[in-house]
């Protein structure tokens, strides 16, 4: 069985961009310039908080793939979530 890999947008979520927003962003020179779907996050956490937790060792460490792609193993995320649930109980 192949290990499922998650990108940060799948962990923290990603706000969608409509065609109108993308056009406006292109004109203004800021923000997302392409249409993209909204991705609900696995965790209710900001990307900056996630990266700070990765840096401090609180969250699982990423895997760097060729082409500047960063991913995390789903099994490691699930293990971390189980550990958090055990600490609460």
Across the range 48-66, mean pLDDT stands at: 96
Is 63 inside any structural domain? Answer: yes
The model's pTM: 0.79
Is 24 inside any structural domain? Answer: no
List beta partners, residue 84: none
pLDDT of the residue at 57: 96
The dihedral of CA 72, 76, 80, 81: what is its sign? positive
Is 54 inside any structural domain? Answer: yes
Structure tokens at 66: 């060729």
Is 62 inside any structural domain? Answer: yes
Is 53 inside any structural domain? Answer: yes
Mean pLDDT computed over every residue of the chain: 92
Total domains present in the chain: 1
Residue range 19-46, pLDDT digits in tens: 999 999 999 998 889 999 999 999 999 9
Domain span holding position 77: 5-14+40-88
Q: Using CB atoms within 10 A of its CB, is residue 72 exposed (0-12), middle (13-18) or buried (19+)?
A: buried
- What CA–CA distance (Å, rounded) separates 8 from 17? 17
- What CA–CA distance (Å, rounded) separates 72 from 80? 12
């Amino acid at each position: 069985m192949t290990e499922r890999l998650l990108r940060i947008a799948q962990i923290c979520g990603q706000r969608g961009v409509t065609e109108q927003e993308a056009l406006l962003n292109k004109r203004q020179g800021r923000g997302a310039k392409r249409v993209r779907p909204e991705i609900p996050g696995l965790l209710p956490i900001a990307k900056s908080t996630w990266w700070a937790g990765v840096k401090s060792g609180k969250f699982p460490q990423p895997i760097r793939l060729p082409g500047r792609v960063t991913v995390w193993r789903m099994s490691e995320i699930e293990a971390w979530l189980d550990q958090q649930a055990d600490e609460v109980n």
